[in-house]
Amino acid sequence: MSIMDLTSMAEAQKADRQELEERLRKLSLEAAEKCYQCGKCTSGCEAHKLLELEPHRIVALTKAGLFSEMTSSDLIWTCVSCFKCYERCPQKVAPVNILFALKNLSVLNGKDVPGNYTAMLQSAMTIGLVQDVQETVDRKGAVRTRDSLGLPPPPRPKDMEHFMAAIMGTAVEKV
């Protein structure tokens, strides 16, 4: 089911709309209101052809305040964050950043986080990196490590206790 099918009877969620506008302002981004639906963003969207993301509709729904419909949809997680929509928008609106806001809102509302984002978050909070050091294989199939390649150990936060406390505090905050 597409996002539009869910919205025919929906009512605007004004508080979410206000919060999103406030977030865009904080990040020095143009208001969604500036969009005049030319569709240039969608014409160049990297996630449009294969995954049917339509950035101009995301902005239209944002203007209409229909947030729960969007934050419940997997569509918002198909953005590849290539930034072509923002780069090419004649009004300097940034659908890509509206999508980041919608994904953040979805997580905040306790919706399922797809893929391995949860694992990356856990890892970042405990070792400071979104994943731990990986082994690799060369073209002949032999296992190689950072150490065997002569690379120094990767950097890590020095004061792990205070790092973790600070980052866990941030994890429950909004922009």
Binding site for other proteins (CB under 8 A): 26-28, 46-47, 50-51, 77-84, 86-87, 92, 94, 100-101, 103-104, 107-108, 113-117, 120-121, 124, 128-134, 136, 138-140, 144, 146, 149-152, 154-159, 162-163, 165-167, 169-171, 173-175
**CB environment 93-104: b (16+ within 10 A), e (fewer):** bbbbbbbbbbbe
In this structure, the chain runs to a length of 175
Which residue's structure tokens are 């032999």?
142
C-beta of 17: minimal distance to other proteins in Å? 18
C-beta of 117: minimal distance to other proteins in Å? 5
Looking at beta carbons only, is 60 or 130 nearer to other proteins?
Answer: 130
Q: Which helix (H) or strand (E) element contains residue 149?
A: none
Looking at beta carbons only, is 4 or 168 nearer to other proteins?
Answer: 168
Looking at beta carbons only, is 56 or 84 nearer to other proteins?
Answer: 84
- Cα 51 from Cα 153, distance rounded (Å): 39
Looking at beta carbons only, is 2 or 11 nearer to other proteins?
Answer: 2
Which residue's structure tokens are 């994943």?
131
Tell me if 4 sits within 8 A of 69, measured CB to CB: no
